[in-house]
């Protein structure tokens, strides 16, 4: 899911019949709609919003022909999906950069190497057609993560065959994409978060070989200082990628959500005043990793949290301060639907 603007949310999921299903929020929830347009997706769709002013969504799915398709929503869905790549092992990691002028995406190909493609400012793909740039390497998981952590600064993160996390970094003023390695042993795909774009901070979250939650963090565009590595000792978690999100000024608060071994959602919070707090159970009975989103701009302090329950329907909580969850204490609201993967979202 993603936030198009203040008070406007979009959820996209893979339905039981492998269609792409959408439900939106703007002064209330819409009904579920099939927006697949005839395309059947192998995985959860990936969606990003590029402008609160124009309210544009870009959606990406990998179909059963292993090809990657793109479709845009702007006051309505584009008529057709556009095939932009082939031989996809999993869904892409997608991020916009340079004030939403460009979209960068990367995915693991059928040969387990990393592939890259860019949507240019004139809305054409480079390379053209279904061609891609081959970044090489060998990667064990079929999905990664991406974030934009300053103006025209973006990074992709994927896990190699050696269970190490590798970064591809684009920085304005530095030629090409640069490679970095993060510390730690990574047993699930990562989740990246831009912590403070003004200070060029970002954090990346994962689980280690003991199923403990940890993160790597860094500040600055260069490689001086490198990545730090912190492991949390207050719990073990299910092998699902954690969610990381912030609202308002992300230099002051971060929340991470992970699935416990009891299938409940746990919340771990960092604030500038307290540092990292003990993990807190907020309930649920989920089968996939949770998804969270903060509303559109820095003046809003609201989270919406989603998970797929054991009935394969969507469940929802929201919070106006990050601590008290509504509609009730550990009581989740059913949004219905039937889906076979986690809620789609920005990766």
The neighbour count for residue 138, using CB atoms within 10 Å, is 12
What local confidence, expressed as pLDDT, does residue 104 receive? 96
Q: Which residue, 158, 157, 155, 156, is CA-closest to 139?
A: 158
Q: Which residue, 219, 282, 271, is CA-closest to 248?
A: 271
What local confidence, expressed as pLDDT, does residue 36 receive? 87
CA-CA-CA-CA torsion for 190, 49, 2, 268, nearest 10 degrees? 40
pLDDT, one tens digit per residue, over 231-264 is 999 999 999 999 999 876 666 789 999 999 999 9
What local confidence, expressed as pLDDT, does residue 329 receive? 65
Beta bridge pairs of residue 308 = 314
**321 dihedral zone (left: phi>0; alpha: psi -120 to 50; beta):** alpha
pTM exceeds 0.85: yes
Q: Which residues of the chain have pLDDT under 70?
A: 1, 4-5, 51-54, 196-199, 220-225, 248-251, 296-300, 329-330, 342-347
């Amino acid at each position: 899911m993603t936030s198009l603007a203040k008070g406007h949310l979009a959820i996209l999921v893979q339905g039981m019949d492998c269609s792409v299903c959408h439900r939106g929020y703007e002064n209330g929830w819409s009904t579920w709609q099939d927006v697949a347009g005839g395309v059947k997706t192998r995985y959860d769709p990936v969606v990003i919003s590029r402008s609160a002013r124009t309210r544009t969504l870009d959606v990406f799915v990998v179909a059963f022909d292993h090809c990657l398709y793109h479709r845009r929503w702007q006051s309505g869905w584009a008529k057709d999906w556009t095939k932009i790549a082939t031989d996809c092992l999993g869904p892409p990691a997608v991020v916009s950069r340079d004030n939403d002028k460009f979209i960068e995406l990367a995915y693991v190909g059928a040969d387990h190497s990393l592939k890259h493609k860019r949507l240019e400012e004139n809305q054409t793909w480079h390379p053209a057609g279904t061609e891609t740039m081959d970044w090489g390497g060998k990667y064990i998981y079929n999905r990664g993560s991406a974030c934009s952590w300053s103006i025209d600064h973006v990074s992709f993160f994927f896990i190699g065959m050696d269970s190490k996390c590798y970064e591809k970094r684009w920085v304005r003023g530095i030629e090409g994409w640069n490679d970095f390695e993060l510390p730690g042993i990574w047993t699930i795909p990562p989740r990246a978060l831009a912590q403070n774009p003004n200070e060029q901070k970002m954090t990346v979250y994962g689980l280690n070989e003991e199923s403990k939650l940890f993160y790597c963090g860094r500040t600055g565009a260069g490689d001086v200082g490198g990545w730090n590595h912190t492991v949390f000792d207050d719990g073990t978690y299910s092998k699902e990628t954690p969610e990381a999100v912030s609202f308002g000024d992300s230099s002051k608060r971060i929340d991470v959500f992970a699935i416990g071994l009891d299938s409940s959602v746990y919340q771990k919070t960092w604030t500038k005043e307290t540092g990292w707090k003990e993990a807190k159970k907020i309930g649920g009975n989920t089968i996939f990793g949770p998804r969270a989103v903060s509303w559109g701009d820095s003046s809003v302090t609201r989270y919406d949290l989603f998970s797929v329950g054991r009935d394969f329907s969507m469940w929802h909580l929201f919070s106006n301060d990050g601590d008290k969850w509504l509609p009730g204490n550990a009581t989740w609201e059913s949004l219905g639907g039937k889906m076979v993967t986690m809620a789609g979202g920005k990766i």
